Chain A
Amino acid sequence: MERAVGIDLGTTYSLVATAGKGAARVLRDANGDGRFPSAAFFGRNGKDALGWDALHRAEHEDGDLLLSIKRFMGRGAHAARQDPGLRSFRLAAGDDRMVRFHVEGDRTVTPIELSARYLAALKARAEQDLGGPVTGAVITVPAYFDDAQRQATKDAGKLAGLNVLRLLAEPTAAAVAYGLDRPEHDNGRYVVFDLGGGTFDVSVLAFERGVFQVLATSGDTALGGDDFDLVLARMLLRDAGWDDPAGLPRVLLNQARAAAKAAKERFSTEERVEIVFAPEGGRPVRRTMTRQEFHVLVDPVLRRCRAPCEAAMRDAGLTGADLGGVILVGGSTRMPVVRAFVREFFGREPLLDANPDEVVAVGAALQADLLSGGDRDMLLLDVTPLSLGVETMGGVVDKIIPRNTSIPARARTTFTTYADGQTGMDFHVVQGEREKVEDCKSLARFKLSGIPPMAAGIGRVEVTYALDADGLLTVTARETTTGRTASVEVKPSYGLTDAEVEQMLVDSMDFAEQDMESRLLIEGRVEAQRIIDATRKALREDGAMLSAAERRSVEDVTAQLEVAKNARDRHEITRLIDALDHATAEFARRRMGASIQSALKDHSIREFT
């Protein structure tokens, strides 16, 4: 029996849902609550806690409460230092690729590890409910997450022992859950306005006969309900006599934030809220605030929703009048101030008949069922949120796959050589909307060599970008006269290599910080494995091109590399990688020659590198 689940890995709360035969349902805890707070507490005394338990303990006990860590997924330490949040967490000396937090017990944890713990808890909930192991999961991500943030989420899934079937954009998931059973929506254009705890997405979709096509998406991966809480919490701390929250005890910050959040939630149903905040060592605060005063206070936060809404509507080529409706998703859309913004911006009443907390998980569950072979008459056509391009002369970006292109996708462009006798071409793959390379995110670099010498402008190189359904990019460059090719499967450097994920699984109990040396060793091992796999594959497929002696020599070096890979001397690994490269050079040339005869297909090209 298939037991596929959909998981909404949220900033504030996470949920898990399943959709076997029939309707999808959210899986609940013993109290009937589907929500699992995305929170971890590392207490000075006693064990670590997750979820509700973590929140409860943090209000009475000293320790590290880690909240909203989704903001740091796929981000370097630099991003965490800039975070405007009230810092009740302690940053460890992280690096450019990943944020690390110090927690009690002299340990460090990463956002990926914490996310993996939340995912594991939801997996356990699902397995108990379904009575067996979970076979696959669709995990949702903000539509506007970039490559690194998506990769980090996927790594967290792997670390939690999940078979990640797909990463699905949250607004798309919500649209599926919302639209399926309502035939009157057929053929309409809809906006999903998704304001969660820490992220904001806006997507424009077309629904037609079971097909959900995303037309455009935009957002801000650092805007959400948390920002409303922070404004209010800072005000409470000021009223209590602390103008600068830096250096205040963590328990105090947690109390201020909890009071702010509670007040914010009451404004959703009440016109006037009495806020009481009586912290130890401060002036007791007791003030009555009207909804109007609250709106004025949070207006600067709300205004940040405007630019993404404009961008999505412009890219979709629509105006408010073209829409069939605006669907609200995310707990923060309960706030009347947010609904007023939506009403004003899109010129219509938002649709309210969806459960904004649960639709994302339900949509993910439906997609998980479809991807596991469930018989569902639906299809989601998602898009890539950010443009993918290549650096050209002068550091300018040439966009190959523009943002909002449906995935899977493929696009090609041709470059000519710029110098006489040029034999190689370097490619720099970038992601982002800006014109200049330094303003975009660098994803990968690779080189095409072996171009026959020609006059400048004569050599032509065709570059193909292929994006699969998960948004994973492969770039191939092919010189058109010789058919010489080079390609790279893009894995962003901020994510984790497979070997690192495995390493973390092994080390997950002691969270030891890896030093430079061990990272280089891991990278060497990954590279070694890649080359060993490629060589074995080539031998299996085209071994007949080699004489028995040639074959033996390639096999010998491969075996030596295999042994070195499992030892700890990275210099030896590097030496043998070079040796294997050398030993297979002639083999590669023969294979290349044979392949030019046959029409080259993308998947066969990749095998050469």
Chain B
Amino acid sequence: MTKCPHCDATTDPVAEPRCQGCRALLPLPAGASPFDVLGLPTSYALTAEALDAAFRRRSMAVHPDRLARASDKERRIAVERTAALTEAHRTLRDVEARALALLRLAGVTPDHRADPTLLADLMETRERAEQGDDVRRALVEQVGSARAGLLTDLERRFGELEREQALRDAARVAPLGALVTRVRYLTRLWEDLQGQREHAVHVQ
């Protein structure tokens, strides 16, 4: 709960972007999480549709274009909130970035280095992919399903922590760090195998 900078009413800028008293736009509180910014519960299990709908709904409330006649102060808040909204939406839309955001909220910093067994696995897979297109396609399947399995695992374990209200418990969240790192390595491998590097779009 914070004071409205426009009229001094007591407000909750996360639950309701506008002041209940004077209807002016409220600034985001310091340290607002991406979930706060979108006005969504802190959770790993968010669908793309739910995120998009929240993004559009919040945009309608905080976008500077909706505040053409507002004060300069309110418009500055609008620009700030909208930029934060875009960033939060993009973060949570990506399952890996979403997992990292949850780790950060719990104060957990994952080790970005892969363990030696994983590294050896990755190198071997890359070498095998050189053997030909058929092998490569089979590996895309294999790595893709391994990655999907890890993501399901991640969703289940974050789900358990969420039910037990332990998402901010660093000791309990920490073990998920290694899992997230593993997913990230597999994603990079999977994309490389698919040749999913950015294709140059026709640019004049």
Contact (Cβ within 8 A) B86 A435: no
**A222 to B87 CA separation, bound complex (whole angstroms):** 32
How many whole Å from A499's CB to the nearest CB in chain B?
26
A-B pairs under 8 A by CB, number: 88
Q: Per-position contact with B for A366-407: 1 when CB-CB < 8 Å, else 0?
A: 000011111000011100001000000000000000000111
Q: State which size class the interface on B falls in.
A: 20 to 34
Q: Determine if A307 and B202 form an interchain contact, defined as CB atoms under 8 angstroms apart.
A: yes
- Indicate whether A206 reaches chain B with its CB closer than 8 angstroms: yes
Contacts of B66 on A, CB cut-off 8 Å? 370, 379
Which residue in A211, A374, A409 is a CB contact (below 8 Å) of B56? A211
- Partner among A373, A408, A411, A439 whose Cβ is within 8 Å of the Cβ of B68: A373
CB distance from A442 to the nearest CB of B (A): 14
The residues of A that contact B120 with a CB separation of less than 8 Å are none
Stretch in B57-65, B152-160, B170-178 touching the partner: B57-65
For B69, list chain A residues within 8 Å (CB). 373
Chain A: CB-nearest residue to B64:
A469
Name the interface residues of B51-86: CB closer than 8 Å to any CB of A: 52-53, 55-57, 59-60, 63-66, 68-69, 76, 79, 82-84, 86
Given contacts A311-B201, A432-B203, A433-B203, contact A211 B83 (CB under 8 A): no
Minimal Cβ-Cβ distance residue in A for B67:
A373
* Closest Cβ neighbor of A149 among chain B residues: B204
Asked whether, in the complex, the Cβ of B53 is within 8 Å of the Cβ of A208, the reply is yes
Contacts of A307 in B (CB 8 A): 201-202
B79 near A468 with CB under 8 A, answer yes
Given A372-B68, A468-B79, are A407 and B86 also a contact pair (CB < 8 Å)?
yes
Per DSSP, are chain A's interface residues mostly helix, strand or loop, or mixed? mixed
Q: Are A433 and B201 in contact (CB under 8 A)?
A: yes
Total interface residues on A, using CB and 8 Å?
A: 43
- Which of chain B's residues has its CB closest to A410's CB? B83
Chain B residues touching A, majority SS? helix
B202, A220: Cβ atoms closer than 8 Å = yes
Q: Is B98 an interface residue (CB 8 A)?
A: no
Instruction: Kindly report which residue of chain B lies nearest to residue A409, judged by CB atoms.
Output: B86
Asked if A218 lies at the interface with its beta carbon under 8 angstroms from chain B, I say: yes
Across-interface contacts of A439 in B (CB, < 8 A): 200
Which B residues touch A220, using CB under 8 A?
A: 202, 204
Taking A211-B56, A381-B59, A406-B86 as contacts, is the C-beta distance between A370 and B65 under 8 angstroms? yes
- B198 at interface, CB cutoff 8 A: yes
Decide if A245 is an interface residue (CB 8 Å cutoff).
Answer: no
- Our pick among B60, B64, B83, B90 for the contact of A210 (Cβ within 8 Å) is B60
* Cα A351 to Cα B64 with chains together (Å): 32
> Complex Cα distance A304/B198, Å?
19
Q: A311-B201, A373-B69, A433-B203 in contact; A213/B86 too (CB < 8 A)?
A: no
**Hey, which bits of chain B sit against chain A, CB under 8 A?**
30, 52-53, 55-57, 59-60, 63-66, 68-69, 76, 79, 82-84, 86-87, 89-90, 197-204
Q: List 17 A-B contacts (CB under 8 A).
A: A213-B55, A213-B56, A218-B201, A304-B202, A307-B202, A374-B68, A379-B60, A379-B63, A405-B86, A406-B55, A408-B82, A410-B86, A411-B90, A433-B199, A433-B201, A469-B64, A469-B79
Lowest 6 A-B CB distances belong to which pairs? A410-B83, A373-B68, A373-B69, A211-B56, A409-B86, A406-B86
Name A's B-contacting residues (CB within 8 A): 79, 146, 206, 208-211, 213, 218, 220-222, 304, 307-308, 311, 370-374, 379-381, 386, 405-411, 432-435, 439, 466-469, 599, 603
Given contacts A381-B56, A469-B79, 17 further A-B contacts (CB under 8 A): A79-B204, A206-B52, A213-B55, A221-B204, A304-B202, A311-B201, A370-B66, A370-B68, A379-B60, A379-B63, A379-B65, A380-B65, A406-B89, A408-B79, A410-B83, A411-B87, A433-B200
